[in-house]
Amino acid sequence: MRKLMIISLAAPALLVAGCAANNTMTHAAGGAAAGALAGAVIGNNTGSGDARQGAIIGAVVGGAVGAYAGCREDGGCRWNQSNPNHSQLYYDQHARRYYYIDQRTGQTFWQDGQFRG
């Protein structure tokens, strides 16, 4: 029963990781899946023996660590305002949103870090 629960927690994250658009998303999903699996095993074998709580904690920590690793692999977090590759902030009147241009690649990103296209 516990193996089935662990697989059901990890499978969706692994499927999403294959469809991710950049390293940050891919590494976050993979980290969350690996963290959930490791957390469930550790949670089951220590403390109160609660695999579910261990899986949740492991997924959160693994996802954060994976996102950070992917962000660093991409050359720095693109939505970080101190990123030297960012241009000034521009306003898209049609979308009514602000965006940056990555000076290194020429790609554009919304102010919240989403790929603009």
Comparing 47-51, 87-91, 94-98, the range with the smallest average pLDDT is 47-51
Q: Percent of the chain at pLDDT above 70? A: 68
Name the band, by pLDDT with cuts 50, 70 and 90, for residue 94.
very high
Q: What mean pLDDT is reported for the chain?
A: 74
Distance CA 59, CA 49 (A): 17
Does the pLDDT at position 96 exceed 60?
yes
What is the predicted pLDDT for the residue at 93? 93
Q: Which residue has the higher pLDDT, 41 or 3?
A: 41
Arithmetic mean of pLDDT, 90-115: 84
